[in-house]
Amino acid sequence: LAQGFDPVESVTTRPHIRVPGDDHAPVAVASAVLQLRVRDLDALNATFTMPGAADLIRRWQSRHPYKAVWVNHEPLE
């Protein structure tokens, strides 16, 4: 969905690297990380209107109940 959506400059995914402490996490541990790179705050806000995103999330949550946690941050480089 995000690839080709104008406000998104790049999409990067990586699998979660499991560590022993994951067994004691008070919440679910993610199996993957998804990074959407956007140019500014307006572009970030636009990603929440991405066509099809809400339907995709509902479909996944109906099959795999979960709650997503995310963090918005300045570039890490």
Least confident of 34-43, 57-66, 67-76: 67-76
Structure tokens at 34: 């998804």
pTM check: above 0.85: no
**Do the beta carbons of residue 28 and residue 66 sit within 8 Å?**
yes
- Spell out the residues 6+ positions from residue 61 whose beta carbon is closer than 8 angstroms to its own: none
What pLDDT shows up at residue 9? 84
Q: How far is CA 42 from CA 16, 32, 57, 68, in A?
A: 29, 26, 22, 22
pLDDT digits (tens, 9 = 90+) for 7-40: 888 888 888 888 888 888 777 777 777 788 888 9
